Amino acid sequence: MARRSYGRLIALLASRDRDIGGAEDALADAFAAALRDWPGAGVPGNPEAWLLTVARRRLIDAARRRHTAEEAAAHLRLAAEELDAPDAGSSGEDERLLLMFACAHPAIDPSLRAPLILQTILGFDAAAIASAFLVSPATMGQRLVRAKRKIRDAGIPFQLPDQGELAGRLEAVLDAIYAAFAEGWSDPAVVGGLADDAIWLGRHVASRLPGEAEALGLLSLMLHARARRDARRGADGSYVPLAEQDPARWDGAMIEEAEALLSQASRLPGTGRYQLEAAVQSVHAARRSAGVSDWRAILALYDALLRMTASPVVAVNRAVALAECEGAGAGLAALDALALERRLEAYQPFWAARAELLARARDAAGAGAAYTRAIGLETDPAVRAFLERRRRALAG
């Protein structure tokens, strides 16, 4: 079944009792029943409605076994009503959004929110999610089970937060989607279409909450990045950094869509991290027509981002933009200041940026050492090879 339908069904099944684990089990049973019955009896006209009905019956059976007689009566009556009117009521679109808010609830550990969303909305199994986030599959499986239990037992609501809280809670949902996007970004072959799945989740949120500027901002950001993905690899699979990419290989239509979203977002109240990040990407994309990048604009945007978030990624990117505007020395000073504030021994982007700037400042020895560190910290062999080429070029 399409990954995307899975989440709708889970959301519909889980919404009343907030029992995601129960919903997953019930739906798994329904799939098993389908595999048994459909080959002989034929695929029903509306397979999803069939699965939903069977899964709901399983939930009722499970509830009957669990509850006392009186608890069961009320519960079963509600459930029976749903069974009788399977086509009326929600299509699951809204429930799916509510499920995402539940997964990104403050009570859920931030590192689990993206994995939870990937599993419950898109049906990824724990092993696939574990690989994407570089965690042991057994550990990821246990953590997910515990998180789903928590949602059920702690009474985490499947509800849109109140207007006052919405922006803050939405940020957690957006952060989780972006985390999934970032993991699926580096090599499409490695985690399949995870980045595309994240974009799909982003589209879903933006379509249900079109008045939320940051939701549009995140979608714009992801589309900008996705539009350039093909240009990021040479014909031989080598890594091509942004500065060397051929804009002709960027997806123009996708960039247009990203720009339209950003424009729409700017007409809505409130700004935030994702709109600023999308704006940076927008400036980079403008190289298509202008031929050069407006680094002053990029620097101003990173200055604003830095005031908003203490993220090391932002700080490193800002230092690079600063170097473009005021020379390698200024950028290196910013990087050095950053290194004093936080532990960066194992932060690859810091060392890669430092190496580039030291090379520009003609400190070949310093650049070589920094490239070596960056190489030692890189997981992607194509990026490693690129850094090694840069290091070799220092000697010449």
Closer of 288 and 392 to other proteins (Cβ): 392
Closer of 25 and 388 to other proteins (Cβ): 388
Using rule CB under 8 A, residue 88 touches other proteins: no
Options 70-78, 261-269, 358-366, 380-388: segment touching other proteins (CB under 8 A): 380-388
Closer of 46 and 139 to other proteins (Cβ): 139
The tokens describing 209, both together, are 């909450």
Q: Is 44 helix (H, G, I), strand (E, B) or coil?
A: coil
x-or-dash string of contact with other proteins, 133-162, rule CB under 8 A? -xxx--x-----------------------
Residues 153-212 that bind other proteins (CB under 8 A): none
Options 49-57, 276-284, 333-341, 372-380: segment touching other proteins (CB under 8 A): 372-380
DSSP annotation of 103 reads H
Least Å distance, CB 141 to other proteins, is 14
Q: Are 394 and 361 in contact (CB under 8 A)?
A: no
Closer of 53 and 372 to other proteins (Cβ): 372
The amino acid at residue 47 is P
Least Å distance, CB 378 to other proteins, is 7
d(CA 160, CA 99): 10
Q: According to CB under 8 A, which one of 46, 91, 311, 379 is a site residue for other proteins? A: 379
Least Å distance, CB 368 to other proteins, is 11
Options 59-67, 112-120, 297-305, 371-379: segment touching other proteins (CB under 8 A): 371-379
Q: What's the longest Cα–Cα distance across the chain?
A: 83
The tokens describing 242, both together, are 């942004």
d(CA 185, CA 195): 6
x-or-dash string of contact with other proteins, 20-59, rule CB under 8 A? ----------------------------------------
Query: Residue for token digits 């037992």?
Result: 153
DSSP annotation of 237 reads S
d(CA 50, CA 45): 9
Residues 299-358 that bind other proteins (CB under 8 A): 345-346
Nearest one of 195, 9, 196 to 120, comparing CA atoms? 9
d(CA 329, CA 73): 74
Nearest one of 115, 93, 68 to 4, comparing CA atoms? 93
The tokens describing 68, both together, are 């006392």
Q: According to CB under 8 A, which one of 191, 223, 338, 375 is a site residue for other proteins? A: 375
Q: Which residues bind other proteins (CB under 8 A)?
A: 134-136, 139, 345-346, 372-373, 375-379, 381, 384, 388
